[in-house]
Amino acid sequence: MRLLLVEDDDSIAVPLASGLEREGFDVEHVTSGAEALAAAGFEFVLLDLGLPDIDGNEVCRRLRAVSEVPIIVVTARGEEIDRVLLLELGADDYVVKPFGFRELLARIRAVLRRSGSRADVAAPTTVGGLLIDRRTRRVTLDEEVVELTPKEFDLLAFLADDPGAVFDRQTIMESVWDAHWYGPTKTLDVHVASLRKKLGDPEWIETVRGVGFRLVGPR
């Protein structure tokens, strides 16, 4: 998919673009708000707010006025008023600097899942005998179909984005349930328990005490 990266700092943009390209994105990098508004044909936007010409909030507002393309804002501003303003201007999500690449990638995929974009279609993910096909939303284990609810599938697909990596509870809730989840996370435990049961072995999803969960598979 074509991703528009709007970032004027090359020390951030170059490694970020390289990482996204390794993940299968076709990245177009621009360094100003004017270039962002003039770009065409992209299917996702990563928008830095600290641009040299037009305020990033205004760029977000103008992009949303003419397109439903998913937008994730990259910001150094973590205050609640900024978060609320961004969402009201039409951003689908945001990440606060400094951020980890895996967190950003997970948020991109979560936004794509929520928007129903076909651009999120990728080759099936395989972890051991487990195969997760995002295009058909079908899961098989040792070639046997595993019947999952929509949220169970989303949770499993999220964890499978980086097998072995630990995702904290809040990140999982924000990515799978809601972009800015502030409520209790008990529903996560319920879904993890159900997934473990349906996969036939609790070792597929490991609990990292005090942190969150990771997909590892039986040993």
Phi and psi at 177, nearest 5°, equal -100, -55
Considering 53-62, 96-105, 160-169, the range whose residues carry the highest mean pLDDT is 53-62
pTM confidence score:
0.59
User: What pLDDT was estimated at residue 110?
Assistant: 81
Q: What stretches of the chain show up as alpha helix (H) in DSSP? A: 10-22, 33-38, 56-66, 80-89, 101-115, 150-160, 169-172, 186-199
**Is residue 204's pLDDT more than 50?**
yes
User: What pLDDT was estimated at residue 123?
Assistant: 66
**Is residue 208's pLDDT more than 90?**
yes
User: What pLDDT was estimated at residue 169?
Assistant: 86
CA nearest neighbour of 205 among 100, 145, 103, 219: 219
User: What pLDDT was estimated at residue 83?
Assistant: 67
Predicted confidence band at 218 (pLDDT cuts at 50, 70, 90)? Answer: confident
**Is residue 180's pLDDT more than 70?**
no
List of domains in the chain: 2-118 (3.40.50.2300), 122-215 (1.10.10.10)
Q: Say which range, 66-70, 101-105, 143-147, has the weakest mean pLDDT.
A: 101-105
DSSP 177: I
**Is residue 188's pLDDT more than 80?**
yes
User: What pLDDT was estimated at residue 155?
Assistant: 92
**Are the C-beta atoms of residues 124 and 107 closer than 8 Å to each other?**
no
Predicted confidence (pLDDT) per residue in 113-172, tens digit: 777 654 444 568 889 899 998 878 899 999 999 999 988 998 999 898 888 889 888 888
